[in-house]
Structure 1
Amino acid sequence: MPTKFQQRVYSIVKRIPRGKTTTYKAIAEKLKTSPRAVG
């Protein structure tokens, strides 16, 4: 069972359009956390 944090990360990741890329940093900025926590 994923944690609430993992659910938040997944909700952002699933919005990335097919064929597009992003970084851990970009995801982390949306969550107001560190890239290391996301990666």
Structure 2
Amino acid sequence: GAQSLFGKKKGLDDLLGKFTTGLAVGFMVLAIILTIVA
């Protein structure tokens, strides 16, 4: 019950962390590309 709910929450947090990290890396790459092009 509560344990499986906690496990789902942890998985969601991991997913959110990966998404946030991916977003940050994407922005960094975008900034570098814009700097090179401009």
> Structure 1 length normalisation: TM-score?
0.34
Q: Relative to total residues, which structure has the larger helix share, 1 or 2?
A: 2
Larger relative CO (CA 8 A, sep 6+): 1 or 2? 1
TM-score, length-scaled by structure 2: 0.35
Structure index of larger Rg:
2
